[in-house]
Amino acid sequence: RAPPAGGRRASRHPPARLIATPRAVEGGASSVGPAVDGVDDTHRRERARPQLACPICLRAFVAGTTCARCARTFPTIDGNVLDLCLDAGGANGTYTDPPLRKSGTTLFQSEAIANVYENGWRQSFAWAGFPGESTEWEYAMEYVKAAGLGGGAGVLLDVSCGSGLFTRRFAACGEFSHVVASDYSSSMMRQTATYCDADVTTSSAVKDGTLSFVRADVGRLPFATGSVDVVHAGAAMHCWPSPSAAVVEIARVLRPGGVFVASTFMEPTSMLEDVFGAGAEAAAAPLAEAFVNSGVGTGGAFNQFWREKDLRDLTGMCGLEGFERRRSRQFILFRVNKPL
């Protein structure tokens, strides 16, 4: 299936090799040290590559090998997607987690949803104030550059990437030395790889080893501590079954000075400030709390709506700082930094 907007189809390439270059620390945890003593951080980021960790023990891990501690081998699926979820290769056997309270995560594992995500589904977010994919990406890049990142250096991790709508833009812009597309859904990862394969620029990035695909659980990211410069999550947090588990993992994998940029849906009373001005949202706080707690309107695609204060408190609780945001109706895009 061709992407909605892409170049001529290119042949599928072998998966990019993901590497880990950790130094041992007390307790055997994986930690990333400087590649060369005396080399400034910008120089290190220019040649950065994703540094993998076993999703079980978080020790250094190289794609295609077996974890020395856990004796787990994680397969490559659908040609070039490295599967680093706990259930990879059918390791879960007959075990399945208890059903989620809401079905947001389950819904996006559907092949049908993966196929229509860029063909009407994502565009329908305009009703909530989402500005369109191109403008949203530009806003995200403004936050990345404001943090002093990009410029052809560093690793960007696009979590809950869906069909790769933003992954392709990040990979094609030349602002990062490596982009990783990641989603829990095998269907979405397959669609992402297909769209990237069909576009000349992104297929070249796969061939050159600057774009790779990793199936991963955002609540247990298989990357070394402090090894990622930018984490992006576009219209995703409202679907996460445990946002606190996800954000603390994002904080862990970000290097000091790294940035987390995300968009999501706010609860409907947030629109009152757009209509009535400053103070209206605060006045409606009891109604907003009742609405959020009720779960009304979340349907099958959401686990929850958000209040801005909840996003501020969640990211602050997880050790991230400098909250900034853009808002329109129910749309919010925010950035937070990992402290230096």
pTM of this prediction?
Answer: 0.81
Q: Is the pLDDT of residue 278 over 70?
A: no
- Give the DSSP per-residue string, 265-298: EBPGGGGHHHHH-TTHHHHTHHHHHHHHHHTTT-
Nearest to 281 by CA among 330, 333, 335, 334: 330
Residues 6+ apart with CB under 8 A from 143: 259, 261, 324, 333, 335
How would you classify the pairing of strands 30-31 and 23-24? antiparallel
Residues 6+ apart with CB under 8 A from 90: none
How would you classify the pairing of strands 81-83 and 76-77? antiparallel
pLDDT in tens, 156-215: 999 999 999 999 999 999 999 999 999 999 999 999 999 999 999 999 999 999 999 999
**Per-residue confidence band for 226, with pLDDT thresholds at 50, 70 and 90:** very high
- Residue 6's SS3 state is coil
Structure tokens at 224: 């070394």
* pLDDT (0 to 100) of residue 48: 74
Residues 6+ apart with CB under 8 A from 217: 55, 85, 86, 184
Residue 277 and residue 205: Cα distance in Å, rounded? 46
User: Is the distance from CB of 281 to CB of 241 less than 8 angstroms?
Assistant: no
Alpha helix locations (H) across the chain? 41-46, 104-107, 111-116, 133-146, 165-172, 186-198, 200-208, 243-253, 272-276, 280-283, 285-294, 308-317
**DSSP β-bridge partners for residue 108:** none
* pLDDT (0 to 100) of residue 96: 84
* pLDDT (0 to 100) of residue 32: 30
Give the total residue count for the chain: 340
The overall average pLDDT reported for the chain is: 81
- Give the DSSP per-residue string, 213-268: EEE-BTTB--B-BT-EEEEEESS-GGG-S-HHHHHHHHHHHEEEEEEEEEEEEBPG
- Residue 27's SS3 state is helix
